[in-house]
Amino acid sequence: MELFNYSIEEEGLSVEKLLRDRWRLGRKTVHELRMADAVKLPDGGRVRWNELLPAGTALSIRLPEAVSDYVPEMGELDVIHEDPHCLVVHKPASLAVHPNDSGGTGTLMNRVIARFGPYVEHVHRLDKGTSGLVLIARHPVAKAVFDRMLEEKAIRRTYMAETPGPFNKRSGTISAPIGRDRHHATRRRVSPSGQQAVTHYEVISAKDGTSIVQLELDTGRTHQIRVHLAHLGHPIIGDVLYGGHTAGGWYRLHAARLAFIHPFTGKPLDIEDTVKPEWLP
């Protein structure tokens, strides 16, 4: 069982409120932690789950063992951030985040579990051709908390792309619903019947007929940035699926930064990828 310490920062928070309201864990997970007597004081003393605790109370939380079913496979892995609860790693273009089938290999998660197993789970995904940062949970409680933060837009994701330019407006918001393209198995398109999708963009630099664009997402639809930029008339260079010109190699989209308040330490994290594609200035 994995052990970590947590300090109650505010007056009047109980273990029950911490797990259910602050971290918003599911009933099954909370019940399992209660039955395992998993939350205690650092000296091993018991704490009542509904007792309102004073600020500064230290808790020792022991998590049930969990195992991910990824097959370990050694390979190059750039770890940008590491702590007991999460990892942020760089994914190269051409490498899928996870296998499509049980027992599959040749992906980022195979490499991550080989180094950090037995439990690791990605919080979000990048398309195979997109390079950049991927957030990975190191225990099931962290996975549940980060999933909720992602859903509530508490994790800020910043991307960079290179497109044909120039743009008519240096910055703006693309709000256009995205749905499946019935004429193509994997392609998406802007569709009135699709799911809401919002992308904010800002042109950072422009030269030689191309623009470097910084983008942030309010939603996380499949191929969202690729679809929205193509819809705007600026398909990503190399993204032939959405009308971009070939560029020799993968298309030019990079997940450059992740920012969030760490749910277990309370500290702000602003993590920038130190492995940059050659097309970025």
Residues known to be catalytic: 127
Residue 196 to residues 163, 186, 255, Cα–Cα distance (Å) = 23, 19, 21
Contact status, residue 3 vs residue 62, Cβ threshold 8 Å: yes
Query: One-letter amino acid identity for 134?
Result: V
Backbone angles phi, psi at 115, to 5 degrees: -95, -35
Q: What is the dihedral of CA 129, 134, 139, 144, to 10 degrees?
A: -90
CA distance 96 to 110: 10
Residue with tokens 């051409």: 94
User: 255: Cβ–Cβ under 8 A, 6 or more apart, which residues?
Assistant: 91, 126, 130, 131, 132, 133, 134, 157, 158, 159, 273
Rounded Cα distance between 217 and 255, Å, is: 11
Rg (alpha carbons) of the chain, rounded to whole number: 21
Residues facing 136 on adjacent strands = 87, 122
Q: What is the secondary structure of 167-207 as a DSSP string?
A: -SSSEEEEE--EEE-TTSSS-EEE-TTSB--EEEEEEEEEE
Name residue, tokens 């393209």: 181
